[in-house]
Structure 1
Amino acid sequence: MSSDETFNELHWQHDLLGSIEVGLAVLDKQFNVLVWNQFMENHSGILPSQIRGKCLFDFFKEIDRDWFQRKAEPVFNLRSSAFMIWEQRPYLFKFESNRPITSASEHMFQNVTVFPLTSLNDQVEQICLVVYDVTDEALGKLQIQRLNETLENMSRVDGLTGLYNRRFWEEQFNLEYKRSKRAGHPASLIMLDIDHFKRVNDTYGHPGGDDVIKMLARIIKKSVRETDVCGRYGGEEFAILLPDTTAKQARIVAERIRKLAEHVPVEHEEHTIVFTVSLGIAELQDSYQQPLVWLEKADQALYEAKESGRNRVCISPS
Structure 2
Amino acid sequence: MENPASPHSIPAELIDAIDVGIVVLDKHFRVEVWNKFMENHASIAPKAIIGDLIFNHFPEIDEGWMRVKSGPVFNLRSPVFIIWEQRQYLFKFGANRPVTCDATDMYQNVTMVPLVNDDGAVERFCIMVYDVTDQALSKRGMARLNDELKTASRVDGLTGLFNRRYWQERFEQAFKLAKRQDTPSTAMMVDIDHFKKVNDTYGHQAGDKVIQALAALIKRCVRETDLAGRYGGEEFAIILTDSPVSCATTVAQRIRRLAEATPVEHEGQTIRFTISLGLAEFSHDAKSPLAWLEQADKALYDSKQGGRNRYSIYTSSENEE
Normalised-by-shorter TM-score class = over 0.9
TM-score, with length taken from structure 1: 0.93
Distance 1:232 1:197 in 2: 15
Unaligned runs of 5+ in 1: 1-9
Alignment of 1:79-90 (within 5 A): 79-90=77-88
Superposed CA deviations along residues 93-142 of structure 1, whole A, max 9, x for unmatched, are: 11001225242210000001111110121111111110000011111111
Q: Which amino acid aligns with 1:193?
A: D
| Aligned structure 1 segments of 4 or more residues deviating by more than 6 angstroms | none
Aligned pairs, number? 310
Counterpart for residue 74 of structure 2: 76
Distance 1:76 1:48 in 2: 25
1:255 equivalenced with 2:272 (yes/no): no
Counterpart for residue 121 of structure 1: 119
CA offset at residue 75 of structure 1? 1.4
CA offset at residue 72 of structure 1? 0.9
TM-score, with length taken from structure 2: 0.92
Distance 1:180 1:92 in 2: 50
Counterpart for residue 286 of structure 2: 288
Distance 2:114 2:291 in 1: 67
Distance 1:88 1:184 in 2: 43
Residues 265 and 274, structure 1, Cα contact 8 Å, conserved in 2:
yes
Identity of aligned residues (%): 56
Counterpart for residue 62 of structure 1: 60
Distance 2:20 2:98 in 1: 19
Shift in alpha-carbon separation, 1:102–1:15, aligned structure 2, 3 A: farther
Shift in alpha-carbon separation, 1:273–1:102, aligned structure 2, 3 A: closer
Distance 2:306 2:242 in 1: 29
Superposed CA deviations along residues 27-79 of structure 1, whole A, max 9, x for unmatched, are: 12222211111111111112222222222222212123333222211111111
Distance 1:125 1:155 in 2: 56
Distance 2:94 2:190 in 1: 54
Distance 2:133 2:159 in 1: 37
Counterpart for residue 225 of structure 1: 223
Q: Which amino acid aligns with 1:107?
A: D
What secondary structure, in the 3-state scheme, does the structure 2 residue paired with 1:317 have? coil
Counterpart of 1:301 (choices 289, 299, 302) is 299
Q: Which amino acid aligns with 1:140?
A: S
Distance 1:169 1:251 in 2: 21
Q: Select between 257-266 and 49-58 the one with higher mean Cα deviation.
A: 49-58
What secondary structure, in the 3-state scheme, does the structure 2 residue paired with 1:293 have? helix
Counterpart for residue 215 of structure 1: 213
Shift in alpha-carbon separation, 1:111–1:65, aligned structure 2, 3 A: same
CA offset at residue 204 of structure 1? 1.3
Residues 100 and 106, structure 1, Cα contact 8 Å, conserved in 2:
no
Distance 2:112 2:78 in 1: 9
Counterpart for residue 6 of structure 1: none
Tell me which protein shows more helix as a share of its residues: 1
Distance 1:196 1:219 in 2: 18
